[in-house]
Structure 1
Amino acid sequence: MIGFTRILAPSDFSSHSHEALRYACGLAERFGAELHVIHVLSEIVPTGPDPLLMPVMPPQFYEEDEKRAAETLKNQIKPEWGTPKSVTTAVCWGAPAEAVVDYAAENQVDLIVIATHGRTGLSHVLLGSVAERIVREAPCPVLSIRSAPAESS
């Protein structure tokens, strides 16, 4: 029988990840699993002709950014989505795919539930796919949730 004890739902606070989080909550309730919800922040990397001339962000900028993300994470889950055994939220720093894969490995996650934007063609080639990299590199199964396409007017 297939079972899950720890489910990870990365969130970038988009409507796509909101939908994936809804699935993750329902699955966590159904399997009596812990739900881990993370958000990955990337450091600002100076670019330009001379990176040494770029302003360096003060430490409090990063602290405030992390604090805002942590507060937003706490308010992501809606009670009607289901009641996981427990909910752990975390803010990580780094490249999104690597941070999610590392978190999953370090926390012995059994399933990652992630949103995919469903890009194809040139936009997929240019923008890459965080979800695709996570599927390839994750230490556990990955369930990708594709949101319904927005209707054009």
Structure 2
Amino acid sequence: MITIRRILVPTDFSDCAALAVRYAAELADKFGAELVLLHVVPDTVLALPDAVMPTPAPMTDFQALADAGKIGLANLITAMKLEKYKPRAEVRLGSPEHEIVAAVKDLHVDLVCIATHGRGGIARVLLGSVAEMVVRHASCPVLTVRPGAC
């Protein structure tokens, strides 16, 4: 028998991610699983190193971004009426795909429910796909939710 005790749902607060949250909440309800909402604050310093910048990039206040992520998760819980699931809210700093995969291991997650943003063609090549990376590297099953799936 398949046991699902903990479901991780990464969110960037987009409409696509909201669909994945809805799926994850329904699954958590059906399996009696813990729901974990994860927001990753991208580490822009890694994306824009000083070596390629003509002038040094201003330092980003990551604590302020992390605090905003916590507020965003609290607002999401309220807006989607998720209080009955007693969701755990996590905010991490770094590369979204790496932090999601790390959270799977750190939190002993049994299922990831993640939105795809439906990018194709050159946008997908240039931007990559967080969902694809999670599917390839997560140590548990991953449910992907496409835009308009509900």
Q: What is the aligned length? A: 145
SS at structure 1 position matched to 2:59:
coil
Aligned residue number for residue 123 of structure 2: 123
Any idea what the Cα deviations from partners look like across 1:93-139, whole Å, max 9, x if unmatched? 11110000000111100000000012222222222111000000001
Moved over 6 A (4+): none
More helix by share: 2
Shift of 1:43: 2.2
Say if 1:134 and 1:49 are closer, same or farther in 2 by CA, change over 3 A: closer
SS at structure 1 position matched to 2:29:
helix
Unaligned runs of 5+ in 2: none
Shift of 1:51: 4.5
CA-based RMSD of the aligned residues comes to 2.1
> Rg bigger for which structure?
1
Say if 1:107 and 1:47 are closer, same or farther in 2 by CA, change over 3 A: closer
Say if 1:107 and 1:50 are closer, same or farther in 2 by CA, change over 3 A: closer
Aligned residue number for residue 144 of structure 1: 144
Aligned residue number for residue 5 of structure 1: 5
Unaligned runs of 5+ in 1: none
Counterpart residue type for residue 148 of structure 2: A
| TM norm structure 1 | 0.85
SS at structure 2 position matched to 1:72:
helix
Q: Where does 1:4-153 land on structure 2 (aligned, <5 Å)? A: 4-45=4-45, 46-47=48-49, 51=53, 53-57=55-59, 61-77=61-77, 78-79=80-81, 83-84=84-85, 86-148=86-148
